[in-house]
Amino acid sequence: MSALSAHSTTPFSGQGIRVGVFDSGVGGLSVLKAIRQAMPLADLIYVADSGFAPYGERSDAFISERSNEISGFLQSQGVHGIVVACNTATAVAVHELRQLWPHLPIIGVEPGIKPAISQSRNKKIGVLATPGTLASQKFKSLVTRHEADAELHLQACPGLARTIESGNLNRQELKTLIAQFCAPLKDAGVDTVVLGCTHYPFVANQLQASLGKDVYLLDTAQAVAKHTAAILQNRVITPSTDVTRGEVTFWTTGDPALLQQVAESWLGWQVVAHQMDSGQD
């Protein structure tokens, strides 16, 4: 029995809860959308660190510094928990964040290799991820735990997150990158592919077309959202009784107009994005 079902017979709506969510850019919007569906009454604060995206091509020290900076900002906004909606930031910085703020739930994301193995028929699994995620010790440990259970094909995708970050999903450059990165997985005969970056679900249709209709794409956003609800439901102190929908606030270290445009296009929500100080000299 999950932590959620152990405490209630109905899903936790998020009433009385404030959740911080951050990513190197717009990719974490896929996780934000899933959290919104799981906890429609929660107040959500999203930070896109687009001024420094993508993290997958940055050093570990830089990613840790940015993750600390943004988590501090979210704490100042009174959040009850933080979702690190970035595979690379989770791999590099989530352990340090939990040490810095042990009282605050820090929820990370990681490529869903275990559920992919359960889903796969031929036990040939592809993983699409940033170079930073694949190079991290956390990811290497994940692979070590499961490499005996399946044939894993790890495909680094340099430049893919950066191209998606532009917001234009019809660019020829994007189509070229997708074809380039999917080709080795097709040649390997994988039947399940893990989307190991939160940017990638936004090009799931293009990935599916390139890999073939019989290949299953696995995105962990829904699982992360359910896990977040399970952890945060006990944080409610005095829930409001007149809330019909939680507020969602958007911040970015990049261009607020671009975040607003992309969020409205990808999510179908009315969005106002605010400029956040980068914290860099």
Average pLDDT over the chain reads 90
Residues 201 and 125 in one domain: yes
- Cis-peptide, bond into residue 54, ω within 30° of zero: yes
- Name the token pair of 199: 């940017």
- Name the token pair of 172: 């020829």
Residue 19 within a domain: yes
Task: Name the nearest CA neighbour of 70 among 31, 25, 110.
Answer: 25
What total of structural domains would you count in the chain? Answer: 2
DSSP β-ladder status, 151-156 and 124-129:
parallel
**Which residues share a beta bridge with 124?**
151
Residues 6+ apart with CB under 8 A from 279: 69, 73
- Please write the tens of the pLDDT for every residue from 203-227: 999 999 999 999 999 999 999 999 9
Confidence label for 238 from pLDDT (cuts 50, 70 and 90): low
Residues 36 and 166 in one domain: no
Q: Which of 194, 219, 244 is the last residue of a domain?
A: 219
Residues 38 and 174 in one domain: no
Residues 210 and 233 in one domain: no
Residues 67 and 120 in one domain: no
pLDDT for the residue 1: 28
- Please write the tens of the pLDDT for every residue from 246-276: 899 999 999 999 999 999 999 999 999 999 9
Q: Which of 219, 235, 257 is the last residue of a domain?
A: 219
Sheet (strand 43-48) strand order: 106-107, 81-84, 18-23, 43-48, 248-252, 273-275
Task: Name the nearest CA neighbour of 71 among 41, 107, 111.
Answer: 107
- Please write the tens of the pLDDT for every residue from 150-182: 999 999 999 999 999 988 899 999 999 999 999
- Name the token pair of 215: 């290949």
Q: Please tell me which residue, 64 or 244, carries the higher pLDDT value.
A: 64
Task: Give the CA diameter of the chain.
Answer: 56
Residues 133 and 193 in one domain: yes
Residues 117 and 243 in one domain: no
Residues 75 and 117 in one domain: no
Residue 280 within a domain: no
In sequence order, which ranges of the chain are alpha helices (DSSP H)? 3-7, 29-38, 60-76, 87-100, 113-119, 131-135, 137-146, 160-165, 172-188, 204-211, 221-232, 256-267
Residues 15 and 45 in one domain: yes
Count each helix (H run) and each strand (E run) in the chain, helices first.
Answer: 12, 10
CATH value at residue 105: 3.40.50.1860
Q: Report d(CA 23, CA 103) in Å as an integer.
A: 21
Q: Report d(CA 133, CA 88) in Å as an integer.
A: 5
- Residue 153 near residue 184, CB atoms below 8 Å: yes
Residues 133 and 199 in one domain: yes
Q: Which of 172, 200, 219 is the last residue of a domain?
A: 219
- Please write the tens of the pLDDT for every residue from 27-53: 999 999 999 999 999 999 999 999 998
* Structural domain that includes position 119: 113-219
Catalytic residues: 86, 197
Residues 101 and 227 in one domain: yes
Burial 86-110 (b: 16+ CB within 10 A, else e): bbbbbbbbbeebeeeeeebbbbbbb
Q: Quick count: other Cβ atoms within 10 Å of Cβ 269?
A: 14
Mean pLDDT, residues 92-99: 95
Q: Report d(CA 109, CA 218) in Å as an integer.
A: 13
Taking the model in full, what pTM does it have?
0.88
Query: Of all residues in the chain, what percent carry a pLDDT higher than 70?
Result: 92
